A and B are shown apart, each in its own frame.
Chain A
Amino acid sequence: QITLKESGPTLVKPTQTLTLTCTFSGFSLSTTGVGVGWIRQPPGKALEWLALIYWDDDERYSPSLKSRLTITKNTSKNQVVLTMTNMDPVDTATYYCAHRTPITMVRAFDYWGQGTLVTVSS
């Protein structure tokens, strides 16, 4: 059974760096083909993909946010960490981590965490 759970601060100040941790179970990030991504959703708005890391340490980022994002993995702890620098109130959103389906060539997400709401405010 695959589960994911996001953790991190619920409130950050503008200009601060956000660090979110995704702790998962039911799969290993050392298995070929496995990936974990981050997706966010501002209140009442659509989903936005942020980043994705693969079993082989390949990292991919949203072009519009690439300069602010870093995604890393700790295979032994079953965790993926996302950092986002220079936070702004427009970054207020629910942040989800998700398991990329292992189906070959399909970059969609079949298991999602419950999400964590991050508010950016002074």
Chain B
Amino acid sequence: EIVMTQSPAALSVSPGEGATLSCRASQSVSSSLAWYQQKPGQAPRLLIYGASTRATGIPARFSGSGSGTEFTLTISSLQSEDFAVYYCQQYDNWPPALTFGGGTKVEIK
């Protein structure tokens, strides 16, 4: 099973600043990588798929990059509504499983 490792576990950022989140796969997943945002008490929201394609309605300040084993989610100029937990998910290793990373919490500094 492919293990997805996210770093850092938590990140303190001031509103208006940018943030860079990392996700590493234990083996290549090509570009089969999605990113989700989850706010407290809410279901996750799909942000990015195919490593770099924004899902419908996702603002341009969210961008994804990477391929193989190293991926990055960049949030430029954080807004108040962006403080949340972010998860990556691979879907290349199929079968046997879809796997999520452990998450990165983006907190207000």
Contact = CB atoms under 8 A, between A and B. Distances in A.
Interface in B1-58: 1, 32, 34, 36, 38, 43-46, 49-50, 55-56
A64 B3 CA distance: 13
B97 A62 contact: yes
Given A49-B98, A52-B98, A62-B97, A113 B50 contact: no
B100 A48 contact: yes
Contacts of B43: 96, 98, 112-115
Contacts of B44: 47, 96, 109, 112
B50 A106 contact: yes
Interface string B67-106: 0000000000000000000010101001111111111000
A119 to B, nearest CB: 17
A113 B63 CA distance: 25
Contacts of B95: 60, 63
A11 interface: no
Given A108-B91, A110-B55, A63 B97 contact: yes
A107 B43 CA distance: 17
A96 B38 CA distance: 13
B101 A46 contact: yes
A103 interface: yes
Contacts of A108: 34, 46, 49, 89, 91
B46 to A, nearest CB: 5
Nearest to B98: A49
Given A47-B103, A107-B94, 9 more contacts: A46-B100, A47-B38, A49-B89, A49-B100, A63-B97, A64-B1, A107-B32, A113-B43, A114-B43
Interface of B: 1, 32, 34, 36, 38, 43-46, 49-50, 55-56, 87, 89, 91, 94-103
14 contacts: A47-B36, A47-B89, A48-B100, A60-B94, A62-B97, A101-B49, A103-B49, A106-B34, A107-B94, A107-B98, A108-B49, A108-B89, A110-B46, A113-B43
